[in-house]
Amino acid sequence: MSDEQRDQDRDENRDESRDRKHAGPAPAPAVPAGPEPEPIRFFGTAWVERDGGYAVRRAAAAVGSLAGAVASAYLLRFAYEGLELGNVGPFLSISVVVLFAIASSIAFAKTWESFSRRPAPSSDESALKGLKAIGFIGSLIAYFLRCFVEAPGEKLRRAEYERAKVEFARRREARTGNPAARRPKRKK
């Protein structure tokens, strides 16, 4: 590329940027015509109409969570074998197995519960984060099983979305006309 062509390209780029600066205000973002659905991890908003590869995403989420649970179980098995090789004693070996079993069952129950209702703001969910991290296999199994029925959390979000649409329609119907054009109320 010659120096003359480079100079010409720079001049054109300057003109374009100057035109963008003086083009006026940017257009206002579009106002939504109603409530927006809340996206679900791995599914986005495809759960609303069950389109956009929804079935494939559900199958992939089920297979992925099952594969993660199986891989995690093998990882824990290797950790247990490491304890056995280290001759830590039967008490510690059994304690580790019981700890992971209890943590996994609690994580399963809390994860399954979270698919149908939101936790209260003052609940002890934040205190259980560590326990759910230890029992991650239970969470993965809950995710796997829920994918057979629906996208995990879809029922809860669908109910909230439908309720928001009804409230939005009710509020829209209550507004009639331009309030500035209304006649003032007569005093009695």
Residue 29 has pLDDT above 70, yes or no: no
User: Quick one: the chain helix, strand, coil %, rounded to 5?
Assistant: 60, 0, 35
Residue 17 has pLDDT above 70, yes or no: no
pLDDT reported for residue 10:
59
Inter-residue contact 62 to 147 (CB < 8 Å): yes
Q: What is the pLDDT of residues 116-172, one digit of tens each?
A: 888 777 667 777 788 888 889 999 999 999 998 888 888 888 898 899 989 988 887
Q: What is the pLDDT of residues 50-99, one digit of tens each?
A: 888 888 988 999 999 999 999 999 999 998 888 888 888 889 888 988 99
Residue 28 has pLDDT above 60, yes or no: no
The residue-averaged pLDDT of 38-50 equals 84
